[in-house]
Chains A and B, each alone.
Chain A
Amino acid sequence: MEGTLAYFLIVLPIAFAAIVGFSPAPMAKWIGTIGAFATLAVALLFAWTFPHWTDGLYAPDIDAANWFPAMGVSIALGADSVALLLILMTAFLMPLILIGSFTSITERPKDFFFWFMLLEASMLGAFLARDAVIFFVSYEFTMIPMFFLIANWGGAQRRQAAVKYVLYSFGGGILTLVGLLYIAMKMHAALGSWDFGIASMTAFCSTEMLASEQVWVFILLMAGFAVKIPLVPFHTWLPLVHDQAPTGGSVILAGTLLKLGTFGEFRIAMPMAPIGAVEWNGVLCVLCLIGIVAAALICWVQHDAKKLVAYSSVTHIAFCMLGMFSLNSIGVTGSVMYMISHGLSTGALFLCIGMIYERYHTKDMDELGGLYRTMPIWSFFMVFFTLASLGLPGLNGFVGEFYCLVGAFTAEDTAMTGYPGLMGPWYAIIAGLGLIAAAMYLLMLVGRLVWGPLREPGHHDAHHAHGHAHGQAHAQARDHAHDHAHGAHATTNDRATTLSRDIGAREIGILVPIAILCLVLGLYPEPMLKAIEPSVKNMLAPYPALVERYLKAGTLLESGSEAPPMASASQP
């Protein structure tokens, strides 16, 4: 049952992509949306029948899924609770993104929805993969749809952004591939057969490979993920790509594509090379702290709303990775929780900004502001998701953030939690400064976009063009925007689309589900935390012993090269 569903999760979007390709252009958006909803339905069914919410095991079992061998590489698909949560988030965001793109994509809609369906298939493939080849192929394949989405429907510098995105990701990805191949070669040498199963590679690499090898393998694997996550200083593609990508592309990028990096870290890099992860932990933690503080400050001086949110992604993701590198279960659980939360709230922020971009064709906060006067409904959602993003307790962002902070705080050598770590209170204090900075830049964002006196681009030009009398009427219409049904007096001379002044039912309809989810996850995160926890504990199984040895000896290298580390393998 689950095997079929997992298989369907990939095949369905591909099939719909094909249908979109052969359908008439006006139908494309409907078919794409139906496809996304169908995939969501399958994902929900998968989640509904999922038997391993509480024990961190995979469904379907690997043997059960092994029924589709091809080219010597078994297409083994399956998910544990963490992967399934990310799948659910992807499948949940996708229809919302597609509906959100109905009006903004006017050129070549067929291609747009085609690439989006392929993108969904490849992302789900990466989350579902139980085989390193499938993982890597899906992981890298996401670049192709993304490249076309940016290059065809992006902003003025879209080509440059698309090329930079692809080259940077590809360059990192190659190194990840080298790392994976190296493990496979070693396995081939040791066992005499090729095996690309993630579980067997993890078991082999984490227990049989020398410490010095693991240190290198970890860095190779990390190279691709660090770009994708993105960790400072490999983050510079992100603001550019976000700035240039169409709204849908930005949402999926922040919502899910970045999570491929964090997920790869969680599923591939950290379990496969735990010694490497411990050896490099100190460096990575410092990078995270730099990312949290520096990117937050950079956010504060942005003029472009979308770039601001893009940089806020960098600082949030650094927070998420800080939790991951705390190497204790509360921190890593928080990190996974944070992935979901960040996907929802940042994705929604990009949707909101896309909505005003569609209306005003600018996202420059110097030209645009005080939109509460004309767009109260949009403003409500904008403020709501900003609050979610800055980690207000009661909304989703807080839970992950708090767990990550506690994780960093308790990641001390004293091991009060049973998970010794290499951080400590000072890391949490510095990361906590990021919370203050988050309030600074996010409130600056809403303070300029939502509150304050109304500023609209092209407003005065419209007056001159249409004569003074008309300008007067226009101003009055603006004054009484609250008093009359919105849009009734709205003149469309300063906007290119026929969209209503405030967001309409379609746009409200895509924001409401996200808002509800944010609230529910903030007030009742318990089930999700409980689902994440066992998988995290499996992943972390080898770590406490390694960290203790590391703390005693100062390094794992010498001891590792003489005898392979103890065989306390994680067991995906």
Chain B
Amino acid sequence: MLSFSLLALADDHAATAASLAIPAAIDAPDLRWAGLIIGLPALSALLCLLCGALKLRSKLPALITIIALLGSFVLTCMLFSQVGEGTPRVVGLFEWMSFSWGTGDRFQSFAAPFALYIDALTLFWMLFVTGLGSLIAIYASEYMESDVGKGYTRFFGGVSIFLAAMATLVMASNLVVLYLGWEGVGLASYLLIGYYYAKPSAVAAAKKAFIMNRIGDLGLALGIGLIWVNYDTVDYATLFRVLEAGPLATQGDWMPSAIPFLLMLGAFGKSAQLPLFTWLPDAMEGPTPVSALIHAATMVTAGVYLIARTYPLFELHPDALATVAWVGGLTAFVAATIGMAQYDMKRVWAYSTISQLGYMFLGLGVGSTFGAGYHVFTHAFFKALLFLTAGAVMHGFAGQIDIRKLSGLRRVPGFKLVSWLALLGCLWLSALPFSAAFFSKDTILTTALGSERSDFQFLGWLGLFTAFLTAYYTFRVWFRAFAGPVQFEAGDDHHDDDHAHDSHATASHAHAKSEFHPHGPRLGIRIPLIVIALGVVAAGWPGYDALFFHGENWVQSMMMHSSAMQGAGEVHGREIFGLSAHRMTSIVGTSACLLGIAIAYWTHLRDRSAADRARAALRGFFLTRWIPATLENRWYVDEIYHALFRLPLWVASHILHFFDKTFVDGFLVDGTGRVPVAVARLFQPLYNGVLQGYAATMAGGFVLIAGWVFWIWLRGNG
């Protein structure tokens, strides 16, 4: 339809992109204050620690965090106005790790100073990270208020650590500092998922998230190692120069070709892609603001950032980007199918996050960093909105989040705004025509469909089909929970971890349930919701600007001026069934969206038993019986991992432990210890005094052995 004029503009850029090289970075010591973007949240984390140590029972930690994050946001805006799309700047802060050895032609050095690399990509990411971070912190100040004096300080300490680490990750000037931030956000994620620490499921989810991320992190660490071994640097600015100057891939040499695959393993772990995606749904055990901030809007996009940042390296192997595309496309599809069969609203949004992240990787893989970056941007807003509305529902209904137990919320007093904002989020997630996500998703799918590669075209069609599934599962939630007759059941959770384990406490809550009155959100939740909703709408601006005013798409031009420039423009106008790829995507995408909404309307609002009948029909027929079972059991991925990895490791560990105890210690060590005793028995029948005798004879035995060795020696060399 209309989006192709936006993409036509992209074609203009494609011509220029090829001739452009990543601009050389310049040192900017005058920008040292940018370090405060990391420093303020770090300081806030320390102050929260202090509040915790003083056993403070007020909302002060929230205030500190909000001020620090707003400060970071303001500083990011200032940095944006100074640097913008200009030359990348490198700002050195302090030495972290460095090493050099050898002299002359053997001189080698390894340097990972704590420095910042500020270019358009950095700023693009930092703007929405700090902006959304501040808003969600404000939201959380009200959301978490029942925990004041208990976990409140811990929560905001975690949020502060997260922002400091995320800023480090995005602003790092080299891959080792990126790794510091990378593990730091993992730590924050661990601490915050396990926030309700008395729930074993939360503890297990936190552990799972950290360990699955660690698997990816090993890939990243080895990738960094290989980059250093091959290019003698881990610094972006130098790396880009080296890559530009030298031949990119030495074919047949496994080391450089392995780099992109190792890096993408790290990215897939952090961004919850196949095969490492199962931690993200479990991460919903954390408080909802955390799900919104870390597990939807910002941290999980770190993988996309990593690939966009190291995009030139992904040309080291011809199949690297294709792998990214395939993993992304398949993840988008698989996660969407699982999302159709979940009843927990937050889990549906979690699977949709995985699915949307899949689109981003598909975009990166098929060569549209612009589409991927734009989708990161739009997704950050509408997914944060969806999670925060879900959180508002949880907050008001005592933790109830099951869409089977909630209905007609838009008619419940106090939830009108929440319901309409949720509708906005749902429409955007479904990529309604002229919504921001419509532009961003179309850019990705058009690039895939317009590609010369038939497998990318397949992924494009798969993406379009996934768009249909997305619209369906999104509106399944909305029509179930927010529309229809008013019916609800309160949850039994009072965000009160202290009482969670006491049976008498839950009993008293159960008693209170019959006279339950949902309480609507107050200003602390409403204001961030409204601001984010405005952001959701405004995120479409770059698209409208390009579409209606023939301006430049801001996101695209940001990508153009960064390391992701290679993929910022390439869109081919291949013809499909007589239509251009742009037009095809628009038409099919719009139809998919509307069809998905229509089916959801039919089965979940108009006739709510239809969905159950459909499920029963599927289960009744032996050829389709597996479909609902597989989807409801999340494709059995957790079970497969358990059987393939956890169980064998567990068995191996027990065998090793047994072997260690009985063979190494019991037989070898203690057995050796008995040899001198046995020998001594031969020569000393009057052996008594167990302990001392044992000690003496064993020592004697060692002396004998030593003497024997010594004698062999002397003979051998004498």
Chain A: residues with CB nearer than 8 A to chain B?
159, 163-164, 166-168, 170-171, 174-175, 177-178, 182, 210, 212-213, 216, 220, 233, 236-237, 240, 294, 297-298, 300-302, 328-330, 333, 370, 372-373, 376-377, 380, 387, 392-394, 398-399, 402-403, 405-406, 409-410, 415-419, 425, 428-429, 432-433, 435-436, 439-440, 443-444, 447, 450-454, 475, 479-483, 485, 523-526, 529, 533, 537
Contact = CB atoms under 8 A, between A and B. Distances in A.
B411 interface: no
B207 interface: yes
Contacts of A398: 183
B665 interface: yes
A403 B222 contact: no
A188 to B, nearest CB: 14
Nearest to A166: B695
Contacts of A447: 203-204, 206-207
A170 B200 contact: no
Contacts of B713: 182, 216
B508 interface: no
B665 A236 contact: yes
A312 to B, nearest CB: 13
21 contacts: A167-B695, A175-B702, A178-B706, A236-B661, A297-B649, A298-B653, A298-B656, A300-B650, A329-B99, A373-B198, A377-B53, A399-B97, A402-B176, A406-B228, A409-B225, A418-B103, A429-B222, A432-B222, A439-B214, A482-B149, A482-B498
A482 B150 contact: yes
A305 B444 CA distance: 51
Contacts of A410: 229
B402 to A, nearest CB: 23
B378 to A, nearest CB: 31
Contacts of B95: 524, 526
Interface in B152-190: 176, 179-180, 183-184, 187, 190
Given A433-B218, A436-B214, A236 B669 contact: yes
B330 to A, nearest CB: 24
Contact of A526 (B97, B206, B255, B669): B97
Contact of A452 (B197, B654, B673): B197
Which of A170, A216, A398, A451 gathers the greatest number of chain B CB atoms within 10 Å? Answer: A451
Nearest to B672: A171
Please provide the 8 A-B residue pairs with the shortest distance between their CB atoms, ordered closest to farther.
A418-B102, A236-B665, A418-B106, A171-B702, A393-B180, A297-B653, A451-B197, A451-B203
B149 A483 contact: yes
B591 to A, nearest CB: 45
Contact of B108 (A167, A403, A418): A418
B198 A436 contact: no
B501 A454 contact: yes
A356 B520 CA distance: 44
A170 B55 CA distance: 51
B96 interface: yes
Which of A210, A432, A436, A443 gathers the greatest number of chain B CB atoms within 10 Å? Answer: A443
Contact of B221 (A178, A236, A432, A454): A432
Nearest to B502: A479
Given A425-B222, A439-B214, 18 more contacts: A167-B699, A233-B664, A298-B657, A330-B99, A330-B110, A387-B187, A393-B180, A402-B176, A415-B106, A416-B108, A418-B101, A419-B101, A435-B218, A435-B221, A439-B211, A443-B190, A453-B200, A537-B101
Nearest to A172: B702
A370 B198 contact: yes
A452 B653 contact: no
Given A182-B713, A236-B660, A479 B498 contact: yes
B385 interface: no
B150 A175 contact: no
B691 interface: yes
A430 to B, nearest CB: 11
B683 interface: no
B161 to A, nearest CB: 10
A275 B94 CA distance: 40
A174 B183 contact: no
Contacts of B660: 236, 294, 298
Interface in B682-718: 691, 694-695, 698-699, 702-703, 706, 709-710, 713, 716-717
Given A298-B653, A417-B102, A443-B210, A525 B702 contact: no
Interface in B83-127: 94-99, 101-103, 106-108, 110
B650 A301 contact: yes
Interface residues of B, number: 80
Contact of A333 (B99, B218, B716): B99
Contacts of A480: 498
Interface string B218-244: 100110011011000000000000000
B262 to A, nearest CB: 10
Contacts of B206: 443, 447, 451
A479 B218 contact: no
Contacts of B226: 425
Nearest to A387: B187
Interface of B: 52-53, 55, 94-99, 101-103, 106-108, 110, 149-150, 176, 179-180, 183-184, 187, 190, 194, 197-198, 200, 202-204, 206-207, 210-211, 214-215, 217-218, 221-222, 225-226, 228-229, 255, 498-502, 505, 649-650, 652-654, 656-657, 660-661, 664-665, 668-669, 673, 691, 694-695, 698-699, 702-703, 706, 709-710, 713, 716-717
B652 A432 contact: no
A204 B204 CA distance: 58
A419 B101 CA distance: 9
A392 B706 contact: no
B657 A393 contact: no
A220 B705 CA distance: 12
A220 B669 contact: no
A301 B657 contact: yes
B203 A428 contact: no
Contacts of A418: 101-103, 106-108
B708 to A, nearest CB: 10
Given A163-B694, A394-B180, A453-B198, A301 B653 contact: yes
B702 A174 contact: yes
Contacts of A328: 101
A360 to B, nearest CB: 18
Contacts of A436: 211, 214-215, 218
B710 A182 contact: yes
B535 to A, nearest CB: 31
B300 to A, nearest CB: 19
Given A163-B694, A393-B183, A432-B222, A524 B99 contact: no
A297 B657 CA distance: 8
A355 to B, nearest CB: 17
B695 A163 contact: yes
B229 A416 contact: yes
A404 to B, nearest CB: 12
A485 B57 CA distance: 12
Contacts of A213: 717
Given A298-B657, A394-B184, A175 B102 contact: no
Contacts of A432: 218, 221-222
A210 B103 CA distance: 30
A434 to B, nearest CB: 10
Given A447-B207, A453-B198, A479-B498, A174 B229 contact: no
A439 to B, nearest CB: 4
A216 B717 CA distance: 11
A164 B228 CA distance: 46
A220 to B, nearest CB: 7
Given A167-B673, A452-B197, A526-B97, A178 B709 contact: yes
Contacts of B669: 164, 168, 236-237
A175 B706 contact: yes
Contacts of B203: 447, 451-452
Contacts of A433: 218
